[in-house]
Structure 1
Amino acid sequence: MGSLGSRLRSPPRSPQGTADSSCGAPGHGCKCRKRKRSSECQCDSETEEEDSLLNTPRRKKLKSTSKYIYQTLFLNGENSDIRICALGQEWNLHKVYLCQSGYFSSMFSGSWKESSMTSIEVEIPDQNIDTEALQVAFGSLYRDDVLIKPSRVVSILAAACMLQLDGLIQQCGETMKETISVKTVCNYHASATLYGLDSVTKKCQEWLLNNLMTHQNVDLMKELSVMVMEQLVQSSDLLVMQVEMDVYTALKKWMFLQLNPSWDGPIKQLLADADAWICKRRSELGEEQAFLNTEQGVPFIPVFRHVRLQYIVNDLASARILERDNIVPPEWLSAVYKLQWFAMLRTEHDNDIGPQDANKEEFELNSMRCGRKLAKDGDYCWRWTGFNFGFDLLVTYTNRFIVFKRNTLSQPCGGAVSLQPRRHIAYRLRLASFDSSGKLVCSRSTGYQLLTLEKDQEYVVMNLDSRLLTFPLYVCCNFLYTSPPSDRQSSTPEPESSARSMS
């Protein structure tokens, strides 16, 4: 017993065979306790981390209810309580889902015989609707989202409108606005007009106003109807390159393609062939009859009526082409010549120093439309040709500034220059650049402005942010150099140069 007690009281040996004298020794901390406390802290930390992991939600993609409903109820037709027949195809559907459609909701809620029928034959009067479009339209009642191909959007829109599916109609409209291009714009415009999508119609018209003159295309010209072309030509927002004569030239090509839709050739050859065709018709009709007065030409009168001839006859070469083509009736030209003659007399003898109170409506109807393409960044200076009643306006683009200058003495000019101390001009300047589909990438506008310039005075019209500039850059301007005929000015010139927004 004694020897056993001695062995029990002997100090324990360390793993190395030596006594651990630090345990309980004065002046020393207990290493065993420190290790234990550290171990406890680590365990607490691990426990907290495990608790956090246990309480953190995990995302795991499960088969959604929408997909299950679409597959089971729509595609498989399980528990169907009504059969819809249309265009030779049948759909096993459910009234509770069909009631999302205004078309079927009215059918089932009234005292119609269809409300108690289990099989309904639906008449499809719209030729734009096919079975594929109906499949998408019916399927949209059973799911949260629908993928719409641009090539199918018009048919789906037609089906959605017939079934009165507001959500699907809106989605079709968004798809159309995002995919407007030279291949889709005419079809989208016609469809949006037919089905009442005003925002899509407006978007298509904006695209056409921006691209008709800047990116001329044979297929597009063939598709454009008389009604749409009339809307474009009368708009002051039409981006014109270079001057109004180019609008007339574009209409010649368009009219030729409308009357010769089988023509197939490059855009560069189109004008020559159009001119040859017009010359042949002129020789057949005789010099005394204008083409627009013939049976073939009458449908195009509404479009040519909106060409601003006053800015074509002020250039000698352009006026001669008008006379040679004999498309426009002589009485139209006589009225324009008279208008411009009196405008010149007012400028020379009645001290007409330009518009001072022209309103926006007057400006939109009568302003000169012109433009210039800047292929790349650099320094440019130009003037637009034609007689501008003594107002020689130089336009400069340099260092991201666009500047107007009223030139009187410093640079040579081909015509007479007004030496009146001050001249007024109404203008609007717009800048635009486009991507490969013709979609507007960036745009800037001064809005409608009235500007007073002294002799040889310069005015900074726009200061551009280089981060927003994309080339090629299209500079489009509208100008009004003289007062409207009804506005005979007698007021004294303003005491100093200024620029003002128009009402």
Structure 2
Amino acid sequence: MGSLGSRIQGSSRGAEEASEGSCAGTGHGCDCRKRKRSSPCQCDSEAEEEDSLLNTPRRKKLKSTSKYIYQTLFLNGENSDIQICALGQEWNLHKVYLCQSGYFSSMFSGSWKESSMTTIELEIPDQNIDTEALQVAFGSLYRDDVLIKPSRVISILAAACMLQLDGLIQQCGETMKETISVKTVCSYYSSAGMYGLDSVTKKCLEWLLNNLMTHQNVELMKELGVAVMEQLVQSSDLFVMQVEMDVYTALKKWMFLQLCPSWNGPIKQLLNDADSWICKRRTELGEEEAFLSTEQGAPFTPVFRQVRLQYIINDLASARILERDNILPHDWLSAVYKLQWFAMLRTEHDNDTGPQEANKEEFDLNSMRCGRKLAKDGDYCWRWTGFNFGFDLLVTYTNRFIVFKRNTLSQPCGGSVSLQPRRHIAYRLRLASFDSSGKLVCSRSTGYQLLTLEKDQEYVVMNLDSRLLAFPLYVCCNFLYTSPASGRRADAPEPESSAHSVS
């Protein structure tokens, strides 16, 4: 018998030989001992493949965990260590789950008396919260996914905010943003403001700016309050159809519905009935007092203040309607007439050829808002009515191009346009199409732009990709034809020495 040391050495050598001459642990009877080790072994490949399979994750939803917890612990209340009572209903719950709520976490971790109580009576100060909303809110602590119906989202949001359930609040916000429509937008806007969901508030305003004028709706006009309407009408993002006069007309209809909410009829009849009502009120008041100066009309003053009257009085028929309606105080109109007169004098005698420097603030506050609906694909050419300081702008849609043309030569009468060699405008053009709920399907915008046009010059404003187009297509434009009055009051005549030529 050899020594123990020699036996160990022999075993060690045998192990080395085995590792070199065979595939240990494979059991495949491989003859790779005859190959050089530099060539790959089939058994090595199979082992690597098996190793890869063992380490590749497989997604398989386990039926047991989530459903079991929700059913057994929440619905059945097994092993409950606390009872929550609210609105006449009881829930047998568990502190460890309730601590996911900021409301209960603070309650249980502090020195509040409730931290040691096994039955807690909740006071519900918010009228939007009901038992069904609490059921969803408590249940969300026991499951990963919660289905929220749009009809229930405000109540669930109210409960989630009270219980400080951040995840559920976020999910309510996403549900609201995805389901904005003519039936939900006002309630969503109000609730988003109440519960601090700024992103929902923004989405609702975007929807209203896009749809208020393009898809006028009686019920929506009844719901819109003074504050939100003021915000919409003052915005340069309001999608106007056709011209600024249509904003004023829409406000007449809205004001009538606010004062006569029981009115019920088709949208086509609304303006006639609103005009009849205004005519009757005018007769009662006499010709001297404007309706907004009365106690009944005063609440609507902030909204009508936002109408850009300078683009209404530049059209004779529209100016006559303003005078006839006698809604606006006389000093409003007098001030606008005066401002426009001096603006016209600047373009004619002071060579104001239009904005040549970027002034986004001036553009947002004072640009002309106008729009057009293209019902189907085809060729269109149009102009928006009104005297725009001698700038006759033609807009053409053809072959998926939108073109601006400064029209000077073909005019019905002399003196109707400016013959200055160059004129400048600031503009923004937007295109949009909507689905049945008023949600944007596609949209394009040029952004804020400055443009110089010579006589009868054309300019391609937008080249459209047919794959992105959907009809009806809504075109909305903002224009600024004159430059600011150089820091002077627009109603103050400038000294002769200060006149200058801008080219």
TM category (shorter chain) comes to: 0.7 to 0.9
Q: Distance in 1 between matches of 2:502 and 2:400?
A: 32
Compared with structure 1, are the counterparts of its residues 352 and 57 closer, same or farther at alpha carbon in structure 2 (3 Å cutoff)?
closer
Q: 2:434–2:440: 8 Å Cα contact kept in structure 1?
A: yes
Matched, 1:429 2:429: yes
Q: 1:358–1:483: 8 Å Cα contact kept in structure 2?
A: no
Task: Give the aligned partner of residue 220 of structure 2.
Answer: 220
Give how far 1:486 is off. 3.1
Q: Distance in 2 between matches of 1:107 and 1:297?
A: 50
Q: 2:352–2:501: 8 Å Cα contact kept in structure 1?
A: no
Q: 2:401–2:462: 8 Å Cα contact kept in structure 1?
A: yes
SS in 1 for 2:430: strand
- For 2:290, the aligned partner's letter is A
Q: Distance in 1 between matches of 2:218 and 2:58?
A: 57
Task: Give the aligned partner of residue 180 of structure 1.
Answer: 180
Equivalences for residues 58-137 of structure 1 within 5 A: 62-137=62-137
SS in 2 for 1:351: coil
Give how far 1:356 is off. 1.5
SS in 2 for 1:387: coil
Task: Give the aligned partner of residue 456 of structure 1.
Answer: 456
Task: Give the aligned partner of residue 208 of structure 2.
Answer: 208
Matched, 1:167 2:170: no
Task: Give the aligned partner of residue 388 of structure 1.
Answer: 388
Give how far 1:108 is off. 0.6
Q: Distance in 1 between matches of 2:208 and 2:109?
A: 44
Q: Distance in 1 between matches of 2:60 and 2:165?
A: 33
- For 1:399, the aligned partner's letter is N
Q: Distance in 2 between matches of 1:354 and 1:342?
A: 14
Q: Distance in 2 between matches of 1:60 and 1:145?
A: 17
Q: Distance in 2 between matches of 1:208 and 1:92?
A: 44
- For 1:475, the aligned partner's letter is V
Compared with structure 1, are the counterparts of its residues 58 and 189 closer, same or farther at alpha carbon in structure 2 (3 Å cutoff)?
closer
Q: Distance in 2 between matches of 1:478 and 1:273?
A: 31
Q: Distance in 1 between matches of 2:61 and 2:392?
A: 70
Q: 1:354–1:483: 8 Å Cα contact kept in structure 2?
A: yes
Task: Give the aligned partner of residue 404 of structure 1.
Answer: 404
Give how far 1:487 is off. 5.3
Q: 1:400–1:466: 8 Å Cα contact kept in structure 2?
A: yes
Residue identity over aligned pairs, in percent, reads 89
Compared with structure 1, are the counterparts of its residues 79 and 210 closer, same or farther at alpha carbon in structure 2 (3 Å cutoff)?
same
Cα deviation digits, residues 174-207 of structure 1 (max 9, x gap) = 0000000000000000000110000000000000
Q: 2:407–2:456: 8 Å Cα contact kept in structure 1?
A: yes
Task: Give the aligned partner of residue 318 of structure 1.
Answer: 318
Task: Give the aligned partner of residue 27 of structure 1.
Answer: none
Cα deviation digits, residues 123-159 of structure 1 (max 9, x gap) = 0000000000000000000000100000000000000
Task: Give the aligned partner of residue 343 of structure 2.
Answer: 343
Moved more, 478-487 or 92-101: 478-487
Q: Distance in 2 between matches of 1:462 and 1:473?
A: 14
Give how far 1:485 is off. 2.2
Q: Distance in 2 between matches of 1:239 and 1:147?
A: 34
Q: Distance in 1 between matches of 2:414 and 2:103?
A: 68
Task: Give the aligned partner of residue 36 of structure 2.
Answer: none
Task: Give the aligned partner of residue 22 of structure 1.
Answer: none
SS in 1 for 2:135: helix
SS in 2 for 1:364: helix
- For 1:313, the aligned partner's letter is I
Q: Distance in 1 between matches of 2:413 and 2:477?
A: 20
Cα deviation digits, residues 387-414 of structure 1 (max 9, x gap) = 1111010111111111111111045479
Task: Give the aligned partner of residue 238 of structure 2.
Answer: 238
Q: 2:311–2:368: 8 Å Cα contact kept in structure 1?
A: yes
SS in 2 for 1:437: coil
Task: Give the aligned partner of residue 362 of structure 2.
Answer: 362
* TM-score when normalising by structure 1: 0.86
Task: Give the aligned partner of residue 297 of structure 1.
Answer: 297
Instruction: State the superposition RMSD in angstroms.
Output: 2.0
Q: 1:422–1:452: 8 Å Cα contact kept in structure 2?
A: yes
Q: Distance in 1 between matches of 2:303 and 2:413?
A: 34
Q: Distance in 2 between matches of 1:260 and 1:414?
A: 48
Give how far 1:492 is off. 5.3
- For 2:450, the aligned partner's letter is L
Q: Distance in 1 between matches of 2:92 and 2:116?
A: 16
- For 1:205, the aligned partner's letter is L
Give how far 1:490 is off. 6.3
SS in 2 for 1:145: coil
Q: Distance in 1 between matches of 2:167 and 2:60?
A: 29
Q: 2:352–2:502: 8 Å Cα contact kept in structure 1?
A: no
Give how far 1:357 is off. 2.1
Q: Which runs of 5+ in 2 are unaligned?
A: 1-41, 489-497
SS in 2 for 1:338: helix
Q: 1:84–1:93: 8 Å Cα contact kept in structure 2?
A: yes
Cα deviation digits, residues 446-494 of structure 1 (max 9, x gap) = 1111111111111111111011011111110000111122358966555
- For 2:433, the aligned partner's letter is S
Task: Give the aligned partner of residue 32 of structure 1.
Answer: none
- For 1:288, the aligned partner's letter is E
Q: 2:350–2:501: 8 Å Cα contact kept in structure 1?
A: no
Matched, 1:279 2:279: yes
SS in 1 for 2:452: strand
Q: Distance in 2 between matches of 1:267 and 1:400?
A: 32
- For 2:385, the aligned partner's letter is T
Task: Give the aligned partner of residue 192 of structure 1.
Answer: 192
Task: Give the aligned partner of residue 308 of structure 1.
Answer: 308
Q: 1:358–1:484: 8 Å Cα contact kept in structure 2?
A: no
Task: Give the aligned partner of residue 29 of structure 2.
Answer: none
SS in 2 for 1:74: helix
Q: Distance in 2 between matches of 1:57 and 1:247?
A: 60
SS in 2 for 1:229: helix
- For 1:460, the aligned partner's letter is V
Q: Distance in 2 between matches of 1:57 and 1:105?
A: 36
SS in 2 for 1:475: strand
Q: 2:133–2:159: 8 Å Cα contact kept in structure 1?
A: yes
Task: Give the aligned partner of residue 446 of structure 1.
Answer: 446
Q: Distance in 1 between matches of 2:57 and 2:106?
A: 45
Give how far 1:347 is off. 0.9
Q: Distance in 2 between matches of 1:277 and 1:242?
A: 24
Q: Distance in 1 between matches of 2:487 and 2:74?
A: 69
- For 1:424, the aligned partner's letter is H
Q: Which runs of 5+ in 1 are unaligned?
A: 1-43, 495-503
